[in-house]
């Protein structure tokens, strides 16, 4: 192989209800990336154990994520949709990466500090090693690009560090086995087995905030259901949540600078822009000077128009899960075949007998 073939990989955890932030920040981008790219999309059910060990509804939540993928427009025939636990090579490579990664690297991961809170001694080892498994998720397919939000950039940088250390530590083995690819990192030539994965960050609303607090990210775990629009919400629920969304007494500005210091207004404008495939400047050009009593009903209509078809298809798929199960089963078989090629070569590079 003379170069790494472009491959997009990403995954979504099956924890809680999918919401508008998941759709705008991830799933809709997954759909767009299908055009012109080889894509692998995963329901990362193994990662879900780091948030909560025992899940009574793991099968349902896993199917719900897959249903959202399909309902939003991901083509499971042209690309691969599967659940992570169906491909044991993820865990096998994660253990190798646990041995490659350094404790100091892991200690710098801010998301662990945020999620573990003050009582870090009671956090699971899985939560601490989460970024190592994420690196394995990506690199077991030698993926080159990952659509991520800002909160995952640090984990992706760690994946690059792990890949580079593996490449350098096993440089002679990689050359001897003939599996490497000549790349340049900075100005240095490297005969690499794993690529230096690149983040794909973009879109008008890559970080959708809470409808109740514009300084906090929209979250499945927020105790208030009014803080988020769930993908399975009906039209009445969507309308109620947007109309009750926190705002301020001022009208919408005509320029983007006028949104500074107004997180709730900025969030609603960003959501409208993302749903309409417009810039925030375009939205303000249309609604600048208007009160939220005018803007919110327009946002309600737009959100329902975009989300209702997805919600309807998700409900149809979840009413009879045999189709979703078949997609996940076939996707798992295809993913395992790809992942096993990588693992056979990694075993050769390391020197494992198998």
- Catalytic annotation, residues: 115, 217, 220
Question: Does 216 appear as a known binding residue?
Answer: no
Question: Does 11 appear as a known binding residue?
Answer: no
Question: Does 149 appear as a known binding residue?
Answer: yes
Please name which of 137, 142, 153, 149 lies closest in space to residue 27, comparing C-alpha atoms: 149
8 A C-beta contact, residue 21 and residue 217: yes
Q: Residue 280: count other Cβ atoms within 10 Å of its Cβ.
A: 18
Q: Which residues does 178 contact at the CB level (< 8 Å), separation at least 6?
A: none
Per-residue H/E/C for 280-333: HHHHHHHHCCCCHHHHHHHHHHHHHHHHHHHHHHHHHHHHCCHHHHHHHHHHHH
Please name which of 212, 246, 206, 248 lies closest in space to residue 227, comparing C-alpha atoms: 212
Question: Does 313 appear as a known binding residue?
Answer: no
What stretches of 88-236 adopt beta strand conformation (E)?
145-147, 181-185, 188-192, 198-200
Question: Does 13 appear as a known binding residue?
Answer: yes
Question: Does 218 appear as a known binding residue?
Answer: yes
Q: Residue 86: count other Cβ atoms within 10 Å of its Cβ.
A: 18
Question: Does 219 appear as a known binding residue?
Answer: yes
**Axis crossing angle, helix 280-287 with helix 263-276, rounded to the nearest 10:** 100
* Span between the terminal Cα atoms of the chain, in Å: 24
**Rounded to the nearest 10 degrees, how much is the dihedral formed by the CA atoms of 87, 89, 92, 94?**
-80
The β-bridge partners of 147 are: 200
Question: Does 280 appear as a known binding residue?
Answer: no
Question: Does 98 appear as a known binding residue?
Answer: no
Look up tokens 């056979």; give the residue: 344
Question: Does 208 appear as a known binding residue?
Answer: yes
Question: Does 137 appear as a known binding residue?
Answer: yes
Q: Residue 31: count other Cβ atoms within 10 Å of its Cβ.
A: 16
Question: Does 45 appear as a known binding residue?
Answer: no
> H or E segment at 274?
helix 263-276
Q: Which residues of 56-77 are buried (b: 16+ CB within 10 A; e: fewer)?
A: eebeebbbbbbbbbbbbebebe
Measured distance CA(29)–CA(311) in Å, rounded = 17
- Strand 7-12 versus strand 38-43 pairing type: parallel
Question: Does 150 appear as a known binding residue?
Answer: yes
* Known binding positions for L-tryptophan: 137
Binding residues: 13-15, 21-22, 137, 149-151, 208, 217-221
Binding site for ATP, by residue number, is 13-15, 21-22, 149-151, 208, 217-221
């Amino acid at each position: 192989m003379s170069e790494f073939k472009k491959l997009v990989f990403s995954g979504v955890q099956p924890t809680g209800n999918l919401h508008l932030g998941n759709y705008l920040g991830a799933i809709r981008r997954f759909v767009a990336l299908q055009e012109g790219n080889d894509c692998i999309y995963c329901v990362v059910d193994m990662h879900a154990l780091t948030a909560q060990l025992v899940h009574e509804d793991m099968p349902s939540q896993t199917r719900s994520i897959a249903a959202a993928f399909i309902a939003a427009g991901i083509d499971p025939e042209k690309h691969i949709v599967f659940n992570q636990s169906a491909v044991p090579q993820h865990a096998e490579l994660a253990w190798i990466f646990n041995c490659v990664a350094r404790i100091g690297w892991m200690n710098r991961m801010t998301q662990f500090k945020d999620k573990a809170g003050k009582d870090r001694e009671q956090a699971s080892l899985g939560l601490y090693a989460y970024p190592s498994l994420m690196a394995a998720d990506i690199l077991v397919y030698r993926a080159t690009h990952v659509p991520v939000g800002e909160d995952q950039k640090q984990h992706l940088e760690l994946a690059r560090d792990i890949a580079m250390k593996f490449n350098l530590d096993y440089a002679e083995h990689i050359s001897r086995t003939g599996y490497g690819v000549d790349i340049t990192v900075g100005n240095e030539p490297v005969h690499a087995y794993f690529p230096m994965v690149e983040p794909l960050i973009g879109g008008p609303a890559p970080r959708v905030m809470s409808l109740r607090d514009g300084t906090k990210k929209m979250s499945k775990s927020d105790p208030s259901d009014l803080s988020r629009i769930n993908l399975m919400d009906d039209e009445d629920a969507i309308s109620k949540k947007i109309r009750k969304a926190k705002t301020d007494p001022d009208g919408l500005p005509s320029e983007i600078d006028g949104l500074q210091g107004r997180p709730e207004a900025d969030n609603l404008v960003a959501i409208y822009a993302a749903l309409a495939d417009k810039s925030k400047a375009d939205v303000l050009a249309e609604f600048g000077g208007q009160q939220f009593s005018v803007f919110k009903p327009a946002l309600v209509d737009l959100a329902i128009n975009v989300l209702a078809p997805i919600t309807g298809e998700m409900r149809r798929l979840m009413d009879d899960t045999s189709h979703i199960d078949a997609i996940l089963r076939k996707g798992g078989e295809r993913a395992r075949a790809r992942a096993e090629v990588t693992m056979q070569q990694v075993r050769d590079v390391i020197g494992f007998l198998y």
